Structure formats: C-alpha cells, structure tokens
Chains A and B, each alone.
Chain A
C-alpha cells in the first residue's frame, strides 16, 4: 500500500541524509520526498511517500521515530487527508491547432500557462499525483519537453495537526 508519511524534524544539517540513509540502508523504497522549513524555523517538515506491507510501514515509522532528529511523525494515510503535488510541464506547441488543444487541456485540468514562447508553453498544475499522471497521459499526443514534479505534500483534514 502507498503511504504518505509527514515528519517534523529538527532543522539541522544532515537531518535529511539521516532519513534518506535510513531508507537505503534498510531497503525501504521512497517514491517521493519533499522537505522545507516550517513557520517555526527550528523545524523542518518532510513528506515522504513510500510503499510497503503493514509490517514494513510499521517498521518504517518506528525506525524514523528512532532517529534523534525526528520530533514527531504521522502517517497521513491513516487519516482523512489532502494530498497535493505541483508539476511544471514544458510542451512543444508548433502550430496553432496544438496551441489551442494544449490550452484547452490545461483549462480542463485547472492548470495555468505560466510561460509562453514561440513554440512552447510551460504549464503549472497542482493536484494529487493521480491527477498529474492523468494530465501527462492526455498530453502524450504532444511533444512533452520537460516534466518537473515537486513530490507529494499532504495535510490532514479537520482539527488533526502535526505540530509541536
């Protein structure tokens, strides 16, 4: 099963490599990983997407908790939650028909065109990973020049919050 794990950790050098190192050392897989400081500058928030059986996910959360730099963590998948990922896609639009089609597609997916050149668009798109995948599927008739994805972040719905 796919799990989204949110981690609050000390904003210290090396904290990220402790997490990354743990995953490679123990053979767990990471699908995506994002990290940035929070409103409290001493803390970073990391969002990690991984896959595994219940036993493996239990081990992953235990091993993460064991890291001294990890303050708190939460498996978002256990709660009602919102998942978002941002994507920037550069698509070649050689003629006006292609330009129209890509604009329409972008509208349908509620994306935005944020850069235009003579024969390419850069599209910004936000959503859960499945939506971004779907967009790329629909864009396949066009020449996709570049895809940049932020990796998943997430937050629990309602009053539940991962904080100090």
Chain B
C-alpha cells in the first residue's frame, strides 16, 4: 500500500516497538506531527526545549535498556538537540534522533531554518543519515535502530527533508538487516579468554574495575557471579554504579577522582586488573603514567577502539561483555587452579585497613545541612531502590558516593560529557518509562536552572518526580577548584540573584519546599516521598563551604588523594 513518508515514519516506529517519543514540532516536521496525530500507538511527549527531548530519551533508554527516540525540527530544533546527542555519544546511550530538514530542493540554499545537520552532528554520533528519497526511508530507519542498539550503543541521527515526508511510496519494513561494513564482535576470542583466566588465577592482589559497559550489556548478573568466584574486590566507575551491588562486602566503592580511598589504593597496588566494559577515562586514571604501576591488565570491551587507547593493556578481549564474562566463568569453573586464598586474605586485610580510613566521613554535628546527609537520608528513606538522576557537579559526586545502588539502570547521570541540565529531563524519561516508581532528580541550584523549563512538561504529563536541590548558592565544583587551585579567587562561581525556588515550583503548578535545618531533612524527604502523585521541588539550603572528598587532584596518581 502506498503511504506518505510521514505515515511510513510512524509505521516504522510502531514496527520497532517504540511506544514513546520525545519531541518538539516545527515547520519541517509538520507532516510527521500530522501523521502522529492520526494514530495512538506512538505516544509523543512535548518538551519545552529540544535539548530536554534528547535527555529525556536518554533517561528512558538508560533506565529501560531500550532505544530512546527524539523528534525535532530543522535548524534550531537540530542545534538545540546537539548537547543531548553529544551526551548520548559520550555515554554510549542507544538513541535514534529524527531531525526535520528543509525540502531537498532547498538544501544548500541557506533556507529558513536550515542547518547542515548531518555535518554538525557527525563528530558526536555513532552514525547519521540524510534521507533524500522516500523509498529509502523505511530501510534507513531500520538501519538506524540496528546501529544504535548493537555493538557499543550510541546515538544515530536521521535527517528527513520535508518533501520526503510528503512523497509517497509502498511501505515495506525490512524484517532483518545486514550492513556489510558493520559487524560488531559479540563473542570473545577463546584463546584470549583462556589466557586471561590463567593470569587471573595467578593473581595475588586482583581488582575488578567495571564500567557502564556492564550495564549496557545487561551483564550485572554475570559480573556478580564472576566476582564471587574470584573473591576479588570490585570497584565501579561513575557510569557503572549499580552493576555490582553496592551493599556487597566485595564492593569497595567508586574509583577515580572522587572515588573511595580503598578503591583507588586497591587499583594502585593491584597485580592483576580486570577491566570490564570500562574505558580508562581520565577522571578514572588520574595521571596515566602513575596508573596501576604493578598491574597486568585484562580489558574486556565490545569496542576495540577503547582498548589500549589511554592505557596499554596486556590481554585485550574484544566482545560483548556478557558473553565474555560467561565464557570466563565457565573457564574458571573448569580450571584446575583456584585463586590463592592465603594471598586473597592478606589482600583483603590490606583493603580493610584502607577502608578503615572512612574516606567519606563528614561532620555529622554541623548546624548547617550537609549535602551528604541529605543523600544518605534519601538512600535510607527510599530503601536504596529509587531511580536517581543527577545533574553535574558536587551533588553528582555526593549522589554517586552516598546513594548506594544495588541494581543496574537506577543511576542515570551524564558521565562523559558532564552536561549540567541533564537531570530533570532525564528524570522525565525515567518516570514515563517507570510510572509508579520513585524517581529522584538530585541537582544543584546552578544545574537545575539549565533546563528548569521542563517543570512545565512535568506538570503536563503528571510526572511526580522528586527534585532534590542541594542549594549552596555556588557552582559548587567550580568553587571547590577555585578554593583548592586558585587561592580562593571565586571568579563567577557564585549564583547571584537566585529565584525563590519554592515559589517557582508553585508557579509551575508543583509543590515547593524549603529546608534550612538538618533536623528538618528527614521529615521533609518523608513528606515529599509520600506525595505519590505530585512533583515536589525540595530546596535544601546546604553548607556553602562543603567540598567533595576524597579527591585525586589533576595530574596526580590514584594513590595521591586529598582526604578530609
């Protein structure tokens, strides 16, 4: 049957099982919006800014393991979406972002609302397409979803000129697809896996360092089984939190710049490092010349380009993390050798000594609200089982340190790009994907203002998100660096003329709260969580001088942490 491009677009989404898309209409996508209007299988969420559409799609994707979908118009619609696309690229989030484009006859003419979307997005997408013929539309959309969700996931942009959405052709959605130039490796090399297991079994001081790749590959169970078999300490990256249960004895906390002392010291003294779905980011390694000086390194990753990019590894294994972990488990179970229990015992004794430093301690008797206390209380009151999104800065680090995630896909943050403004729209995507669940956005008074317009979207769709604003009247992380490294010259880091957040929340139709005393924290959180059907904006006035500890300063090794 013949259909218009716009109708084909909608049918393709239905075929892909997409039930929710985030977007904002405009001239170039009007045909598509008309086609969306005429059906009820694909629900469209109207955001207030295109950046938020993409972050919401990311929140949806990160919390469900399904691809997120955003739809924006040409020109400014596309450019506003770029931050979200770049964010998804850095954190390997499976997204398909559809952008409208001016009619093919006008491309290159500096037409109204024209930008070279394919050109602008090229460096921050896994792949992108410009569809110039309606007969290519269905196949291109099929390819887009396939590329976004396989291998190392990532965002794919499909740019669709307006005339293509009006043109007609027969709709035929391909059942399966093969792209000759794209064949991600799934199974790891058996020889490499055997070599890795041999090395691991000789380890006296092993460390498992696992990242967001474990979550993306749905490999938390396999990781846990693997770690238990070895009895080795496990540290997670910021993106990997929840991949291994934080309440488990073998978990030594997050590593890196604001990781725990025990995690970083264990890394530094490891003799065998098992890196799984992690990419040796500079915030993890610190100074690479001082990184894991005594360790032989096994690295499992689906992306060969991640291996030996920053740190040279000894045994690379390219493959799907879950496949490789399962193969390693099998190999371990059949191996004659067993981990050296005596050595492990001594290793744990050392780690426990580091642990006893209690590197996350803070002043519990302060008369001011300590941000750590707010997050600890939140963790306790939600039984550690909420979905938590965050913005970027000190509050993000405190959330990562103090909200102990036992499950994957619960911690949704902007790790690679570090996008302030991510938290609230991401929480919308999470809440829409998980209606009935507690979704909390941990943010600061600076970050929240970067996408605060989405409070309106939250009202429209009745999203009962709990916004926890740790308001220290500073861009806290900037202030902290200025205190440590710029002799306290607080250049432009004070957020002057802040709005009254309580009134602002109320103006948007939500519940606003202002909490000024430590004694009120627990009650306020309880009260907010009890309001199951309302968005509650909690403005915690916190200690302005609080810093995130511990810290590996830039250029230092992992064993050179600043402790409180």
Residues of A that sit less than 8 Å from B by CB: 9-10, 13-14, 17-18, 21, 25, 55, 58-59, 62-63, 65-66, 68-71, 164
Contacts and interface: CB of A to CB of B under 8 A. Distances in A.
Contacts of A68: 126-127, 147, 179, 181-182
A1 B122 CA distance: 29
Nearest to A26: B123
Secondary structure at the B interface, as helix, strand, loop or mixed, is mixed
Contact of A59 (B118, B181, B305): B305
Interface residues of B, number: 19
B108 interface: no
Nearest to A8: B181
Given A68-B147, A71-B180, A55 B304 contact: no
A9 B180 CA distance: 10
B119 interface: yes
Contacts of A9: 181
Secondary structure at the A interface, as helix, strand, loop or mixed, is helix
Interface string B178-196: 0111100000000000000
Contacts of A10: 181
A25 B126 CA distance: 14
B308 A55 contact: yes
Contact of B123 (A14, A25, A58, A65): A25
A18 B122 contact: yes
Interface of B: 118-119, 122-123, 126-127, 130, 147, 179-182, 303-305, 307-309, 312
Contact of A62 (B119, B122, B305): B305
Contacts of A69: 181
A41 B118 CA distance: 23
A70 B123 contact: no
Q: Which of A62, A63, A65, A71 has the most CB of B within 10 A?
A: A62
Contacts of B180: 71, 164
- List the 4 closest pairs (A to B, CB-CB), nearest first: A62-B305, A71-B181, A68-B127, A25-B123
Contacts of B147: 68
B123 A66 contact: no
A56 B514 CA distance: 53
Nearest to B181: A71
A70 B181 contact: yes
Contacts of B304: 62, 65-66
Nearest to A69: B181
Nearest to A42: B180
